[in-house]
C-alpha cells in the first residue's frame, strides 16, 4: 500500500463550478501536510499548507481530517488556469516528504 494515495482523475470541471478531491495517508504520525500544483513539464509549486483547523486561500480551501487520515482540497469558481495536476504531500515524523501521485484537474469552457 502506498503511503500517500490520490485519485488520479481526471476531474473534468466546467468553468465556474466547484471541484473537490481527497488524499489519504497511512502514517498516523504524519506531521505536516501540503498541496502542490504541477503544470505539464514544469516543477511542482506549493499551492498551500494544510492546517489542523482547515484553511482557505482565495478560491482554494484545504481541510485535514486526522481521525480518518485524509486531507482535501476544494476549488471554487474554477478557472481555465486551474487546469493542472494537484499533488498531496505529507511529512513523516522525521520530516521526510511523501508525495502522492497527483490528481489531474481539467477545467473546460
Partner 1 sequence: DGGITQSPKYLFRKEGQNVTLSCEQNLNHDAMYWYRQDPGQGLRLIYYSQIVNDFQKGDIAEGYSVSREKKESFPLTVTSAQKNPTAFYLCASSSLPKGTEAFFGQGTRLTVV
- Chain residues binding partner 1 by CB under 8 A are 31-32, 34, 41-46, 49, 87, 89, 91-92, 94-97, 99-102
For the bound state, the minimum distance from the C-beta of residue 60 to partner 1, rounded and expressed in Å, comes to: 15
Tracing cell 503544470 back to the chain, one arrives at 39
Q: Is 105 helix (H, G, I), strand (E, B) or coil?
A: strand
Which C-beta is closer to partner 1: that of 32 or that of 108?
32
- Cβ pair 89, 73 in contact under 8 A: no
Q: Compare residues 96 and 109 and give the one whose CB is closer to partner 1.
A: 96
Cell of 14: 466546467
| Least distance (Å) between residue 100 CB and partner 1 | 7
At 49, give phi and psi (nearest 5°). -80, 160
Other C-beta atoms within 10 Å of 40: how many?
8
Q: How far is the CB of 49 from partner 1 (least distance, A)?
A: 6
Amino acid at each position: 500500500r502506498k503511503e500517500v494515495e490520490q485519485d488520479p482523475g481526471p476531474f473534468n470541471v466546467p468553468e465556474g463550478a466547484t471541484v473537490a478531491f481527497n488524499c489519504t495517508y497511512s502514517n498516523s504520525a504524519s506531521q505536516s501536510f501540503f498541496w502542490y500544483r504541477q503544470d505539464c513539464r514544469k516543477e511542482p509549486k506549493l499551492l498551500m499548507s494544510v492546517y489542523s483547523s482547515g484553511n482557505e486561500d482565495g478560491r482554494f480551501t484545504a481541510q485535514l481530517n486526522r481521525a480518518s487520515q485524509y486531507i482535501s482540497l476544494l476549488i471554487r469558481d474554477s478557472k481555465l488556469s486551474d487546469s493542472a495536476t494537484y499533488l498531496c504531500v505529507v511529512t513523516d515524523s522525521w520530516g521526510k516528504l511523501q508525495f502522492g501521485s497527483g490528481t489531474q484537474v481539467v477545467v473546460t469552457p
